[in-house]
Each structure stands twice: as C-alpha cells, then as structure tokens.
Amino acid sequence: MSRVGKKPIPLPKGVKVTLGRELVVEGPKGQLEVPVPPGIQVRQSDGSLVLTREDDQHSALHGLTRALAANAVQGVSTGFTRELDIVGIGYRADVKGRVATFTLGYSHPIEVLLPEGVELKIEKQTHLVLSGADRQMLGQVAANIRALRPPDPYKQKGIRYTGEALRKKVGKTGAGAK
C-alpha cells in the first residue's frame, strides 16, 4: 500500500473541505480545488481527511492525490513561501502592484506580471520573497523569475534560490605552453 496515500491529512482550525468530484478546500488564505481521479475515495473523519483506493491499479494516483490534497490544506491555512536572491552589480528588482520590474544587465528592464494569488515582497532590492497558497503556481513563478537570468557558473551572477548550492567553474588560464 502507498505509504504516502495512507497517511491521514489533519485539518487545522478554519479550514473547510467540500467533497465531490473535486476536493474544494477553503481557508483564511483562499480557496483551492484538487481533482479526485476515479478509483480514489475521500472521506472526512475525526478532523482529518482519509484517502482510500479501490485496488492496486490506482496506487500511484493514491499517493499523488493525497500529496496534492495535503498541499492544498497547508496552502489555504498557512501558505507557502519561496525566496530568491539577485546577485550582481547593478542587478535589482522593483514591484508596483502586480508588475515586477527586473534590471538584470540587459539593455532593457524586464517586466513580469504576477498571477493572481502570488505576492512578491522585495527586501533590499536583491532579496525576493514570493508567497501564496498554491504551491505549484508559486514554484512555477519562482522558476520563471529565476530563468530570466540563471546563475552564471563562472562569476556566480544571476538570480538564484536562497541557499541554492552552485558549482563554480574555473575560468580560462593564460596561453598554453607550446
């Protein structure tokens, strides 16, 4: 049996769950929907959600659905955050409303429209904190921002996740001996 799928999901205070074709999770941070595939049943008991499957053919979907439901419950109750650092002289970011503007060494500033449900806070112009309820959307926005200027393996300049370990490459040396 799926080790992930059989774990119950505890429901914190203030989180309301509606069962049906889709699992609708509502909480203080918003509302998320999780699709429930055929062959997976969701029931609510003793302040927690329990997912069961019909047979072993649905074992992969069992763990996946439980993980998505747990992420939705955590997202609407406490939310998720992703932190990025901008490294490089003259590299900086600014946010006005739903539009983030990045100056990353190109000939023009880059503007990124933040989707609904994702908030961006900028500390010291080079430390970005993304927050939101939907874990998948938050990770995708963070990856899109990082892709604007990925970290350079030689000079280590660019946008990276906070705490990301980078491999530094050795640059070229002088003319080779003949």
| 160-171 tens-digit pLDDT | 888 878 888 888
* Tens digit of each residue's pLDDT (9 = 90 or more) over 73-121: 989 988 899 999 998 898 989 999 899 999 988 899 999 999 988 899 9
In a domain, 169, yes or no: no
Q: Both 91 and 122 in a single domain?
A: yes
Residue 16 lies in domain? 9-77
List 110's β-bridge partners, or say none: 102
> Which sign does the torsion angle of CA 136, 70, 3, 62 carry?
negative
Quick check: is 176 in a domain?
Answer: no
Domain boundary among 24, 57, 77: 77
What confidence tier does 1 reach under pLDDT thresholds 50, 70, 90? very low
Answer yes or no: do 37 and 65 share one domain: yes
Q: Is residue 109 part of a domain?
A: yes
Asked if residue 149 and residue 86 are part of one domain, the reply reads yes
Residue 125 within any structural domain of the chain: yes
Together in a domain, 73 and 85: no
Q: 20 and 60 share a domain?
A: yes
CATH number, domain of 69, equals: 3.90.930.12
Start-to-end CA distance of the chain, whole Å, equals: 65
Domain final position from 52, 77, 102: 77
67 shares its domain with 120: no
Specify the number of domains making up the chain: 2
